Amino acid sequence: MTTYKITRDDFTIPRTPIDLARYVHETYNKIYHTPELKRVARLRRQPYKTFLEELMPFSDFCTWKYGNRDDILCALAQGTLARDGLVFDMTTRIEHSVEITYPVDGLQVVNDGRQLNESGMTYANWDCNDMSKQQAAIELTIKIAYKKSLRNYLSPGGSSLVFVFDHRLFWDCNPKHVELLVSLRSHLSLLNFQADDVLLMLVHGSQRKIIEVKNLNK
């Protein structure tokens, strides 16, 4: 039985973007290569849910925005629903607020995790003409985005609202899939978010693509 422990307190330790990326990479590998941890993480139990759905995309955001700067400290926020992550600039003493939104069908994620734990595979839909799952994913994101547009995320030190979208079911070679992704970005750009910048982060396995949807400073 493993003695390796992961706690949410680990996620709130301020780290430079590089150090945070290193911590995330090492922790992910530890989970992946430890069967007991992997089984629990697949079911999205805590603290693995927070690690996968908040800390990982937050780290990707920090790396994308701040690169290898060593005067920047990044950490998940403690005990607040107003923001998920904080970025502290040690040079200017300014604190930037980050909200991570990762719309998922929680029940489906848990069911997929249970199937992986039991058989090592999930039941996938390979009918290229069936767009129901893709459309459902887009609609869920737009629905949650609308709710987010009703909240005020503005902060004295600036704020970023990051929408994370898992596009494993979307194929670049399928024009209909590409059209749906374009429509998602278009819908997000039409909403009046109360944040300094709004980003769409497309994730597929270890691949990340960040698209700027809105920036109030431009």
User: Could you give the number of structural domains in the chain?
Assistant: 1
* pLDDT score for 7: 92
* pLDDT score for 107: 77
Amino acid occupying residue 191: L
What's the start-to-end Cα distance of the chain, in Å?
53
User: Mean pLDDT for the chain?
Assistant: 90
Whether 97 maps to a domain, the answer reads yes
Distance CA 147, CA 21 (A): 30
> Percent of the chain, pLDDT > 70?
92
Considering the entire predicted model, what is its pTM?
Answer: 0.91
Between 26 and 169, residue with greater pLDDT: 26
Whether 134 maps to a domain, the answer reads yes
Whether 120 maps to a domain, the answer reads yes
For strands 159-166 and 94-101, give the pairing. Answer: parallel
Segments forming the whole domain that contains residue 160 = 8-215
User: Which residues have C-beta within 8 Å of that of residue 169, sequence separation ≥ 6?
Assistant: 125, 133, 134, 137, 177
* pLDDT score for 123: 65
The token duo for 125 is 């839909």
Q: Which of 148, 143, 152 is nearest to 104 (CA)?
A: 143
User: Which residues have C-beta within 8 Å of that of residue 120, sequence separation ≥ 6?
Assistant: none
Whether 1 maps to a domain, the answer reads no
